[in-house]
Amino acid sequence: MDGFTTRAIRAASRAPRVDQRPTSVPIYQVVTFSAADADELGAVTTGATEGYVYARMANPTVDALAATVAEIHGAEAGYAVASGMAAIHVAVGSLVRAGDRIVATRNLYGTTRSLLTRVLGRAGVETTFVDPADLDAVEAALAAAPTRVLYLETISNPTIAVADLPALAALGHRHGAAVVVDNTFASPALCRPIELGADLVVESATKYLSGHSDVLAGVVAGSAERIAAVRALQVDTGATLAPFSAFLVLRGIPTLGLRMERHAATAARLAALLGTAPEVSRVLYPMLSSHPDHAVARRLLPNGGGMLAVELAGGAPAARAFVDALRIPERTASLGSIHTIVVHPPSTTHRQLTPAELAAAGIAPGLLRISVGLEDPDDLLADVAQALAAARTAA
């Protein structure tokens, strides 16, 4: 008979037999998977045979999340990674090499801009920024030199510009560029870029997909061929998603449609309130007729979603006073949560940008980005009204 420790290790590692189908995806909190023999181990490791050997390469719970995201996006395949920025990195990184060129919307999340200009820039990849609303300017940028990637955001962070994805995807493909779209602000409940012509779509699953501000994750979806290249890069760079994190995102996805309806309904009421406030210079919400991309939004989005931006007339001091006076929203970063979250992009999400870069991206000193949560709408609107009074005093 084997010794005690040998028996203890083998007994504690033996998975139970389960004949009934679980109604939730189990958490495979496993790093290594055992093969039947050396040949099978080699075949699975090299990809000649489907299966699992090591969690950095694949894990059943993480694969279930990837397949779910692919299905709800209408894509052939998906891949899940450790964060939204990891998803952007592996998506774009799988398409470019030194000497290549990217054309990207100038209204980008600050860390995405840093990835393109500083990280990929150091690797010899050039990025040109354009206004996606100016289709002639986008085409001119694409035609100026060979372009590998056209990078877009469905709804821009933080200025809430809505990209005309079908038109932009057609331009990108006409000039031989792969089209990558960050869909985080919309979620697949509002927009599915693959169906509109994108080659790869990325989402920070930390946001609306999970919806509860309790997990960090990112996903990429697209054709099987492109996702295979994404997977190969991730295996070598190690942005591995933990199984429990994948489980938490899977837990959130079934309520995504219902949550987005509530987010959007409250956001529309809040945008209407802010639009009548004398302390406010402008409100950016896609369903307002005053929004520059209102016509595009009505064509591509079933509703305006839960994100809006507001520019306070009193500038940064008014913005600071407004945030400090709020009672309900959490003073934190991120978005797409059950909590309403209000941030001042120049000092938080876009802190990497210089004043000139902020101005070029349309980010004014008094701009606030609001991610509308699931609180009772009347409570939230009353809180915002009293915070506007504080902003007026500060200004």
Could you give the residue numbers annotated as active site? 56, 109, 182, 207
Helix (H, G, I), strand (E, B) or coil at 295: helix
Among 374, 147, 372, 143, which residue's Cα sits nearest to residue 271?
372
Task: Give CA–CA dist 201/77, Å, rounded.
Answer: 11
Task: Give CA–CA dist 391/385, Å, rounded.
Answer: 10
Instruction: Note the helical H segments in the chain.
Output: 4-12, 38-46, 60-73, 84-93, 110-114, 120-122, 135-144, 165-174, 224-237, 243-252, 256-275, 294-300, 315-325, 355-360, 377-394
Task: Give CA–CA dist 58/340, Å, rounded.
Answer: 35
Task: Give CA–CA dist 302/202, Å, rounded.
Answer: 20
Are the C-beta atoms of 84 and 111 separated by less than 8 Å? Answer: no
Angle (CA) 217-360-369 rounded to 5° is 45
Task: Give CA–CA dist 259/116, Å, rounded.
Answer: 32
Q: How far is CA 84 from the centre of its chain?
A: 5
DSSP-derived secondary structure letter, 359: H
